[in-house]
């Protein structure tokens, strides 16, 4: 049992389903406090957040992550209890093993070694940990960032422990993310009998014309950092359950994942223009989860690539693919933000797992990155 594995097991065994933390942050804080970190517990509504900082000078390197996990799904389908970490054939299984309690453990043990070896390191190290990443993300990282900005605490480098890797730990890091814009749309019509369509107004017909035109639009062609913007319908609900009734309304949920070639406002305007061509009576609400962000090659990217190359001989790939992360709240402050974590093949799945050896490699990556940036 290594220090990293032991801590990962302790974190996994705590059933911290969003927004519950179940003492994970307290456990991390106790370890960091011993290393000279000042601990702040920032709770907003039902969400626990941890801000721990060592040092007062710049540059400020922040480890960011979350202690909350998604629900387990059917527990009978797990090979072992999801909140009872199990090791078999070099694999650690349990909810949160990859997303992202394994990363949190690696961060803490890397920091402990680094501080022991470099007690007078330059700059500062901090931890920004929330229990609201897998949930609505309204009382977590975004609120802590607001507190930091009000105190003029500026993050220079941010290393997010999201599972970024594909086949080998460190083969892919995320140096940016696409923006995410969601729409909640209700199209109203007039309910009636299907045999008398002239006495009704079928909202499904109107929705079909609207969606057909919207799906045919090429929003952009992407660029060297981002793939083209995509539009997807995620929910479509209408009807009474009867086959002889024209419904009175249809509800549609849709989402844009967008590049830096377009803005959220441009997507909203274009969508509403198409909608108004086909629909007279509707209600459309927008939710911007976050704009796209990109950290180009620079000090943080260079340090990460060098650390991975030195330790495992991997030429790491820079990527902006995948979903969103809390990095979207940190990047707008001007920080360099990169995600580096374990393999993402089993995240959010039954029998989520991580290779035990990968946790040790990840901890060594984190330690070497601190050495390159803060010594």
Catalytic residue positions, numbered: 68, 133
Which candidate, 326, 154, 290, 140, places its Cα nearest to that of 341? 326
Which candidate, 128, 114, 113, places its Cα nearest to that of 62? 128
Q: Which two tokens stand for residue 313?
A: 């001989």
3-state helix, strand, coil in the chain (%, to 5): 35, 30, 40
Burial class (CB in 10 A: 0-12, 13-18, 19+), 232: exposed
Residues 6+ apart with CB under 8 A from 230: 219, 256, 257, 258
Residue 217 DSSP label: -
Residues 6+ apart with CB under 8 A from 266: none
Phi first, then psi: what are they for 292, rounded to 5°?
A: -70, 150
Q: Which two tokens stand for residue 44?
A: 């907003």
């Amino acid at each position: 049992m290594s220090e990293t594995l032991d801590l990962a097991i302790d974190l996994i065994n705590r059933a911290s389903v969003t927004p519950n933390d179940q003492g994970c942050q307290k456990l991390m804080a106790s370890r960091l406090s011993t290393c000279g970190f000042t601990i702040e517990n920032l709770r907003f509504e039902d969400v626990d957040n941890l801000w721990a900082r060592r040092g007062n000078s710049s540059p400020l390197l922040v480890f960011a992550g979350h202690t909350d996990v998604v629900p387990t799904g059917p527990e009978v389908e797990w090979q072992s209890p999801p909140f009872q970490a199990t090791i078999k054939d070099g694999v650690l299984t349990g909810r949160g093993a990859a997303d992202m309690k394994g990363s949190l453990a690696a961060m803490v043990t890397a920091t402990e070694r680094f501080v022991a070896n470099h007690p007078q390191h330059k700059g500062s190290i901090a931890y920004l940990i929330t229990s609201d990443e897998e949930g609505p993300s309204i009382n977590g990282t975004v609120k802590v960032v607001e507190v930091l900005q009000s105190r003029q605490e500026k993050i220079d480098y941010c290393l997010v422990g999201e599972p970024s890797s594909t086949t080998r730990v460190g083969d892919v890091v995320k140096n940016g993310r696409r923006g995410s814009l969601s729409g909640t749309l209700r199209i109203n019509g007039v309910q009636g009998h299907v045999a008398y369509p002239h006495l009704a107004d079928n909202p499904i017909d109107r929705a079909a014309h609207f969606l057909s035109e919207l799906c045919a639009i090429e929003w952009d062609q992407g660029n060297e950092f981002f793939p083209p913007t995509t539009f997807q319908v995620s929910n479509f609900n209408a009807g009474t359950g009867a086959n002889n009734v024209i419904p009175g309304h249809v509800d549609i949920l849709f989402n844009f994942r967008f590049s830096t070639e377009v803005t959220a406002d441009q997507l909203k305007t274009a969508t509403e223009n198409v909608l108004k061509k086909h629909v007279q009576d509707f209600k459309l609400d927008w939710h911007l989860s976050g704009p796209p962000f990109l950290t180009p090659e620079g000090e943080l990217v260079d340090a990460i690539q060098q650390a991975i190359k030195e330790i495992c001989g991997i030429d790491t790939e820079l990527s902006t693919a995948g979903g969103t992360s809390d990095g979207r709240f940190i990047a707008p402050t001007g920080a360099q933000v990169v995600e580096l974590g374990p393999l993402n093949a089993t995240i959010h799945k039954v029998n989520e797992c991580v290779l035990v050896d990968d946790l040790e490699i990840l901890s060594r990556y984190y330690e070497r990155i601190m050495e390159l940036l803060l010594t």
